[in-house]
Amino acid sequence: MESEGAFLTGVLQNISAAGGFLTNPTGYLEIGAKGRIRLTNLREALHTTTAESLALEAEITRTEIGGFGIRFLGDLDELESLLERACGRRVIEPT
């Protein structure tokens, strides 16, 4: 995530179209910090044939030991579509 000259990396977990939790960050940002986050390795993580990465605007909503709560901002249509397709492929249909 990039915010006002700061750059950090981590592992995004518990992702939804609203946000997620960034674990193992390489730096620290305050609650309310806004910036750009790039989701990478999407093909493997979501088991799709989509683009490999997606950039989104985000805001830090909480800090905890080991990570940050993140809320995605702006147009989230592409992320919602990716998650819907990925989750739809994993649904087990009753027999």
pTM value?
0.75
Query: 61: domain range?
Result: 2-89
Measuring CA to CA, how many Å separate 42 from each of 47, 48, 79?
7, 7, 11
* 18 found inside a domain: yes
* 94 found inside a domain: no
Phi, psi (degrees; rounded to nearest 5) at 43: -60, -45
Measured CA to CA, the distance from residue 16 to residue 24 in angstroms comes to 19
pLDDT of residue 95: 54
pLDDT of residue 62: 95
Measured CA to CA, the distance from residue 49 to residue 16 in angstroms comes to 19
CATH number at residue 77: 2.40.10.220
Alpha helices in 47-76 (DSSP H): none
The domain tally of the chain equals: 1
Specify the residue for token string 């492929």.
Answer: 89
* 70 found inside a domain: yes
Q: Are 67 and 23 in contact (CB under 8 A)?
A: yes
- Each residue's pLDDT tens digit, 18-68: 899 999 998 888 999 998 988 888 777 777 677 788 888 999 999 998 899
* 60 found inside a domain: yes
